Structure 1
Amino acid sequence: MPPRILRRLILVPLVLVLTVVVLVTLPFWLLVVTLASLRLPPPQRRGVRFAWFGAVWLVLECGALLACLGLWVAAGFGGRLRRDKFQTRHYALIRWFLSRVYGTAERVFRLTVTIAEPPLTEAEQAARLTRPVIVLARHAGPGDSFLLVHHLLALYRRQPRIVMKAALQYDPSLDVLVNRLPNAFVPRRAAESGILAEITRLASTMDDDDALVIFPEGGNFTPRRRRLAIRRLEEKGLAAEAERARNLDHLLPPRPGGAIAAIEACPSADVVFVAHTGLDDLMTIGDVWRRLPLEARITAQWWRVPAAEVPRGREERIRWLYDQWEIIDAWIAAQKVTS
């Protein structure tokens, strides 16, 4: 990755200029994408929708960057950015940005997200923000991490922390906003010890309204990745885990290191598991272009394991994590049958 100062000096002005150019030439781009999508069957001609969504995204990027500049100035030219007041304002900015993106996706792609969770008693409802949570989610489909963070902020009033790929810093608003909050970017080929150290750092300082988001699979599901993951387990002599991984039809086997590191660093945290399906068959940009349905529907199932019910030993936690992954896999299979 280029140094941070270089990214800011080049990419931020570039996005601002690109946004102006796109808005001025938008009719031309609408014509281009319309002609490009003529090669698809009529129900799938979605070029205009992609162009419109891209233009809105760029405008929101510029708005977020300008707001970040204002917050930087208000914080004494960056000197007070780490104070709680400014951290809260940055979370509010992320919530505003993602809510606008989500609203645009609802209108442009007819996106609907249905979340099911066990019914809560009044006591459980009142206790939702009395402990931090560690969120363990499957990783599949375009924008799943954005949707998850949006719902944590908007619906559950959590302050999410997340470990992300360093390449996401090429997005200027992500680069500026996320680096001002307790998150972590890790290089593509980062050593596992370095990733676990970042997870431990984030988990160990969580407050009651924080949520640490981890994707134990490490990437989106593909059949090839599944085969490679099973082979790695076999090469490590983890025959039991390899056998259980073979029984997962829709998921990669979970990598337990990050989840266990988070639980050990914050033993008071409840653990929330997230299953979702709907767009998980769209694995590449080409898939999204050719196969995104006219109505994008995502169904999610969340359940919560209180801290007191989380297994204590490492081996027990690994088996427990695989148990939960088997539940998610079975749930996905059932959703695909009924859809």
Structure 2
Amino acid sequence: MRLPPPWVRRGILAPLVVLLALLVVVLLPAWLTIALIVSVFVEPRLRTPRLLLMVAVYLLWDASAVVVLFALWVASGFGWRIHSPRFRQAHYRFVARMLGVLFWNAHWILRLEIDVRVPEGFHDDERPRVIASRHAGPGDSFILIHAVLNWFDRSPRIILKDTMQWDPAVDVVLNRLPNRFIAPPPVAGEAGRPRRRGPRRDRIRPAVPLTARIADLAADMGRRDALVIFPEGGNFTPARRARAIERLRTAGLAAAAERAARLMNVMAPRPAGLFAALDAAPDADVFLVAHTGLDRIRTVGDVWRELPTDKTITMQVWNVPRTEIPDEHDARSDWLMAEWERIDRWIGSRGSPA
């Protein structure tokens, strides 16, 4: 589904979310009573009221964020100073607190625990960072950004899909901070040519290459900034894994395709974006992130079956010294695949399903 323009997302969708949240507050007691009665007689794990309560919490969380973000816009002189360092830090502090509130509720409602394991000396340096993470399960990007802000004490710069802008709070706050949204690839037309997307002006003025946008985002990082990227390009699924392998074969990279086929828990990484960030930020430390706990949750049915989650999300962080990362492209590609093989082995050792 095509993303609506900003005036629709912020002028129509955002107020609708606030109104919907108010409606939920009014009706929640009645809905919870019905859900509890149903759960007592139908399923003993109280999945229905838990799911209902978590949806209500998220709506209220989103609506509250929209209201506060509007107040920040007014306080900045109706947007005049919204991108100043002072208001940028105010937005980062606000996002950190909001994510803390969201995961506090997830802990009590869904019985969700998060165990973050970092290397020794992880919090000691002041250098910028490039953080590359696997991508699997619902909400893993929220969990990672929560960790970066509240546990790593860094200001994240994120590379993420533009479909995240359907959420009004995410749309507003991430567009005020240094982030980059990635549009989906062109859809093939009837004649086999890519179908054009976006407004007419995009057809006349060529778009800036994604690698250049990522490089621009990484180039001016401060000492406590962290660029967060997901080299796999999307959540792990068996179908996407197969397509990643086929993409390498089609490109004539038979050896890389063979190595990718041996990865059971992750997809072959796409190196261009990460390499652009590394080249643009030669002084940044590099950290790789693996995690387990959300591997079995891929569909709405999986979410329902797993409720209450009773899960511990284990997040393992590794540091890779810049001196160990090659400069030459082929050697660097081999290094990245080796690191993803390391992540795959770690996931397998945790008992996650292949």
CA drift at 1:233: 0.7
Is residue 117–residue 302 contact of structure 1 (8 Å, CA) maintained in 2?
Answer: yes
The alpha-carbon distance between structure 1 residues 233 and 292, as it changes in their structure 2 partners (threshold 3 A), is farther
C-alpha separation in 1, matches of 2:80 and 2:130? 30
Checking the alignment, whether the CA contact within 8 Å between 1:269 and 1:306 is kept in structure 2 is no
Quick one: structure 1 residues 40 and 304, their matched pair in 2 at CA, closer, same or farther if it must change by over 3 Å?
A: farther
Find the counterpart in structure 2 of residue 8 from structure 1: 10
Gap runs ≥5 in structure 1:
none
Q: Deviations over 1:152-203 (max 9, x none)?
A: 0001110001112111111111111111000112222269973323211211
Q: How does 1:4-153 map to 2 (within 5 A)?
A: 4-31=6-33, 33-34=35-36, 42-43=44-45, 45-120=46-121, 125-127=123-125, 129=126, 131-153=127-149
Note the alpha carbon deviations across 1:90-144, whole angstroms, 9 max, x for none: 0011001100001001111111111222223xxx6432x2x11111100001110
- Does the CA contact (< 8 Å) of 2:292 and 2:352 recur in 1? no
TM-score (ref. length: structure 1): 0.92
SS at match of 1:300: strand
Alignment: residue pair count: 332
Structure-1 separation of matches of 2:150 and 2:137: 21
Give per-residue Cα distances to partners, 1:49-81, cap 9 Å, x unaligned.
111112122222222112111211111110111
Question: Please, which of 327, 332, 335 is the counterpart of residue 317 of structure 1?
Answer: 332
1:183 to 174, 179, 182: 179
Task: Provide closer, same or farther for how the CA distance between residues 337 and 282 of structure 1 changes in structure 2, counting only shifts above 3 A.
Answer: closer
TM score, norm. by length of structure 2:
0.89
TM-superposed deviation, 1:270: 0.9
Change in CA separation of 1:32 and 1:196 when aligned onto 2, cut-off 3 Å: farther
Are 1:142 and 1:280, in contact at CA under 8 Å, matched by a contact in 2?
no
Local SS of the residue matching 2:114: strand
Q: Identical aligned pairs, as a percentage?
A: 44
Map 1:205-284 to 2 at 5 A.
Answer: 205-284=220-299
Residue 337 and residue 69 in structure 1: after superposition, are their counterparts in 2 closer, same or farther (change >3 A)? closer
- C-alpha separation between the residues in 2 aligned to 1:326 and 1:238? 17
Matches within 5 A, 1:151-190: 151-189=147-185
Report the alpha carbon displacement of residue 29 of structure 1 after superposing the two structures with TM: 2.7
How far has the Cα of 1:294 moved from its partner? 4.0
- What is residue 189 of structure 2 aligned with on the other side? none
The 2-side partners of 1:75 and 1:297 are apart by: 40
- Structure 2 unaligned regions, length at least 5: 187-193, 195-206
- Local SS of the residue matching 2:158: strand
2:83 is paired with a residue whose SS is coil
SS at match of 1:42: coil
**Letter aligned with residue 195 of structure 1:** L
Structure 2: distance between partners of 1:289 and 1:141: 14
Cα deviation, 1:259-310, whole Å, max 9, x if unaligned, reads: 1111011111111000000111101122111224541211111011122332
Matching residue's letter, 2:159: V
Let me know the Cα RMSD of the aligned residues. Answer: 2.1
Residues 272 and 302 in structure 1, CA contact (< 8 A), matched pair in contact too: yes
1:299 aligned partner, one-letter code:
T
Contact 1:161–1:211 (Cα < 8 Å) also in 2? yes
Q: Residue 62 of structure 2 aligns to which amino acid in structure 1? A: E
